[in-house]
């Protein structure tokens, strides 16, 4: 990537609305941290529920797990910002990141990221060694396998990146029950399969930016028609997964199936739409609601 293009893009960035706190939240990608917090908590809660672990006796474990996993995710995202500082200026949605504007020096972003990962891992290992090891695997898959290797080389980068995004429920469960089992891996599969249609929707909305940055996202390499077909296949693949969590009861199966039918209907609608950008936005919003309802529903149904 030429330095002149990067400098030009940085000059066009709008710094007027930024603050130190906003820069920090952008650096750690607070949206990703929050979503992973929800899924890690769900894994933790279900592990307590199915193993009969008392809530009051596990408050310390809950604290260490949720804070530790959040630090690991935040640290990994900060390292990702350090790695992507050369292409972020070329994309509208990333050109105001603090590593681009210069408000946070790259070396500080890297140092913060490494520090967060270390402290987060210490907290996870204080729960169980398995939780700590899974956390390390998540860092490796996001920083090395995705950010440093596949993101700029292969259209399959989204699938590789989905591995790390599916790890938090495993961390949460392993902090209580390191032997794991079928339920936490079902949570992992749901998260893994959910991510490609979610991120392909983002890629469709930002296809020109990814093309300018030289990132081979599926819509850039294969086009919208191929991307829509892939999104449809991934949504279909979600249908059998809730049945792996049949121990949560019929109500959960019904809830998950209704959510899957709604997403499938929207995915099919993509073949009839005349406005791909609007449809991709609808798919993106639905995916966020899907994740929130699905995982909060798992927790709520344990009280019924």
Q: For the domain with range 20-302, which CATH number is right: 1.20.1530, 1.10.1740, 1.10.600, 3.40.50? A: 1.10.600
What are 175's two structure tokens?
A: 């902090």
Is residue 8 over pLDDT 80? Answer: no
**pLDDT at residue 80 tops 60:** yes
What does each C-alpha distance from 107 to 24, 83, 102, 114 come to in angstroms? 14, 11, 11, 11
| Percentage of residues in the chain having pLDDT higher than 70 | 94
Mean pLDDT of 119-131: 98
Compute the distance between CA of residue 88 and CA of residue 77 in angstroms, rounded to an integer.
13
pLDDT band of residue 15 (cuts 50, 70, 90) is very low
CB 248 within 8 A of CB 302: yes
204 or 7, higher pLDDT = 204
Rounded to the nearest 5°, which phi and psi values hold at 97?
A: -65, 145
Q: How many helices (H) and strands (E) does the chain have?
A: 15, 0
Q: What is d(CA 201, CA 185) in angstroms, rounded to the nearest whole number?
A: 25
Residue 18 pLDDT level (bands cut at 50, 70, 90): low
Which residue from 155, 225, 167 is spatially nearest to 196, judged by alpha carbons? Answer: 155
Predicted TM-score of the model (pTM): 0.92
Cα dihedral 292/297/300/303 (nearest 10): -160
Q: How far apart are the first and last CA of the chain?
A: 55
With 50 as the cut, is the pLDDT of residue 134 above it? yes
Instruction: Note the pLDDT of residue 55.
Output: 86
Q: Which residue's structure tokens are 């109500």?
A: 251
Whole-angstrom Cα distance, residue 83 to residue 110? 9
What backbone torsions phi and psi does residue 132 show, to the nearest 5 degrees?
-65, -40
Write out pLDDT tens, residues 90-109: 998 889 899 999 999 999 99
28-55 pLDDT tens trace: 999 999 999 999 999 999 999 999 999 8
For the segment 165-177, the average pLDDT, to the nearest whole number, is 97
Rounded distance between C-alpha atoms, residue 33 and residue 71, angstroms: 8
Residue pLDDT, tens place only, 263-288: 999 999 999 999 999 999 999 999 99
Q: What pLDDT does residue 304 have? A: 80
Sequence-separated (6 or more) residues with CB below 8 Å from residue 23: 98, 101, 103, 104
């Amino acid at each position: 990537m030429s330095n002149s293009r990067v400098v030009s893009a940085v000059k066009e960035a709008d710094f007027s609305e930024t603050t130190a706190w906003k820069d920090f939240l952008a650096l750690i990608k607070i949206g990703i941290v929050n979503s992973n917090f929800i899924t890690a908590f769900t894994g933790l809660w279900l592990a307590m529920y199915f193993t009969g672990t008392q809530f009051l006796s596990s408050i310390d474990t809950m604290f260490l797990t949720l804070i530790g996993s959040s630090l690991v995710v935040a640290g990994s995202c900060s390292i990702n910002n350090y790695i992507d500082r050369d292409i972020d200026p070329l994309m509208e949605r990333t050109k105001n990141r603090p590593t681009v504007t210069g408000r946070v020096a790259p070396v500080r972003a890297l140092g913060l990221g490494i520090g967060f990962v270390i402290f987060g891992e210490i907290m996870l290992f204080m729960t169980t060694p398995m939780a700590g090891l899974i956390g390390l695997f998540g860092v490796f898959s996001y920083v090395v396998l995705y950010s440093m290797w596949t993101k700029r080389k292969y259209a399959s980068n989204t699938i590789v990146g989905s591995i790390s995004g599916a790890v938090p429920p495993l961390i949460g469960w392993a902090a209580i029950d390191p032997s794991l089992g079928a339920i936490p891996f079902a949570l992992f599969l749901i998260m893994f399969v959910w991510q490609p249609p979610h991120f392909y929707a983002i890629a469709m909305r930002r296809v020109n930016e990814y093309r300018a940055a030289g990132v081979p996202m599926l819509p850039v390499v294969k086009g919208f028609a191929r991307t829509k077909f892939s999104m449809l296949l991934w949504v279909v693949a979600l249908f059998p997964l809730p049945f792996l969590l049949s121990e949560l009861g019929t109500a959960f199966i019904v809830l998950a199936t209704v959510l899957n039918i709604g997403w499938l209907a929207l995915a099919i609608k993509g073949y009839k739409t005349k406005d791909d950008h609007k449809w991709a936005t609808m798919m993106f919003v639905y995916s966020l609601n899907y994740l929130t309802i699905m995982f909060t529903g798992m927790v709520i149904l344990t009280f019924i």
